[in-house]
Structure 1
Amino acid sequence: MSLYTFKPVYQERIWGGRNLETLYKRAIPAGKIGESWELVDRPEANSELLEADGKNTTLHDLWINKRKQVFGTDAPDTPRFPVLLKLLDAQDKLSVQVHPPAAKAAELKGEPKTELWYFLHTEKDANIYVGLKKGVTRADFEKAIGTPKLADLLHTLPTSPSQVMFLPSGRLHAIGAGNVIFEIQQNSDTTYRVDDWSRVDDKGKARDLHIPESLASINFNDPEPTFGQPHGERVIECPYFSIYRTFLFPGEYRTWNPNGKSFQYHFLAQGEVTLDKHTFTAGQGWLVSADTPQYDITPGKEGAELVTVQLGIA
């Protein structure tokens, strides 16, 4: 079988923390580490293979040189790998923000970004902000921008592990403090901030806001979104990615078969598993190539919780 693991790309953020170190025993850089880009193919950052595949040393190399073998017949004809996978450690609130829908992104010279949050760890009273409360109008929202009243208009939900929230482009959102999240998204880095909680950095400088772009991108007909409700193993299947969740119990195993259609990227949310000669623990991810024959994943003695990302439909 062809199995690939990658070196994380860590990003310091004003809202970040040290949970990736304490929860998963990772050797992370000093500072407030808010993001780990687990699988990324962008001009500014590219995932490096922990073990090179011949001359291929990065995710982009594989995408250019071995697209059908590794990524499958469902792989689109795009210059770069179309999905970006991250771990987020929100020890403080993220900004109130939105990502532009495709048509608006083209107009604003940005990139659309539909994404999904899979909650890995939540602290007491952790929450998220998604959409607006019912009855809130665009005029109400615009009037509240730049005032403490804005927070009162946001739809707030408490979080707990294993919950999922789908965020189509145009959905207003913010992650509250105390959440560690596995984020699956389109390969985009366009974010428009509408509010940043009056926060400044250690030099007293506030981050830029993007009020006109935010107002142009927000879907104001999207009141009070709810958490996703997986159907069996299926979390979501959308045009950009498909996500599945599998609970593996001690003494059993699960068989996967890529069928040449799509790679399968597995992220282990809880527990320990073995695959061929490999053992993985919570917080680790790996990519199985599309040309791999069917294979089994077996949990450790305490079972496992596995999140799987692929293109197309399983």
Structure 2
Amino acid sequence: MYKLVENRSEKGKELRVAVVESIQELIKENDKVVAMEADLGGASKFTNIKKSNPENFIQCGISEANMIGVGCGLSSEGFIPYVHTFGPFATRRVYDQIYLSGAYAHNTINIYGSDPGFTVGPNGGTHTTWEDVALMREIPGSVIVDPCDETQTRWVVKELSKYEGVHYIRANRKNVRNVYTTDSTFELGKGNVLREGKDILIIVSGQLVSDALDCAEKLVEEGYSVEVIDMYCIKPLDIDLVLSESKGKKAVVTFENHSIYGGLGSAVAEVLMENGVNVPFKRHGVDERFGQVGTPDFLQKEFHLTADDLYKTVKSML
């Protein structure tokens, strides 16, 4: 059961702290949980795990493919690995290892790919990933989650420890605006209807959930009835919810911190087309762009991923 916070302007703890604290709690419950790093322990706070649980931490150095291989090897011996590096290094750089050593070999690995899209900030284009969801969707049996705030991030990290397979968590390292109350829980593979509406449906994931709610409030002030779905679990997608909530709408828009190719928008479009849902539809994301250097706030505007940008897209459809 989930509940929205009353004040969405407040921010929670940094998401990297939420991830680390959740892993530390898991280690207390099960000493088979292992945390692994690729020389970013200071940036991710995984060094805190090294201090609290040195026997459950492995520093793999700047050798991401090896880290995935070691993690999958540990899985084959009954361990539950959690690995971290930047989003592009956690997906496209190590794709073959994830696919073969992980999925194909039926091993379990929980991957935290941090700072997706514009959130990478001054680390620039080499560290930017607009394609991580598209890549991970192609792996048979994979689970992809894009949590929107601290509460959801904590729940996701702990929940994935219950399942076998390749699991990908894409999330900022820094703190973001709160969406859910701290006692909220979720269901893997199910989207959350954050507000109901009859005219417009916005399907969104990750920290852009807050921006989508801002956009919805602006549209409501103009007399529109707007529904917002937090599709934090991109794979498996909540197909039933997409179909039930899309029918009868004047416009359906997906909003993602990702390329419009292969991500949330593509997944929703496939569902709508294959099931014959006739509704005006638009993917709002990044189109044929590489990353660049800048602050996250600047980059969010540069790549047209703000609440105002989404508002313009919805209005153009109406």
Shorter-chain TM range is under 0.3
TM-score (norm 2): 0.26
Max radius of gyration: which structure? 1
TM-score by length of 1: 0.26
Q: Which protein has the bigger strand share?
A: 1
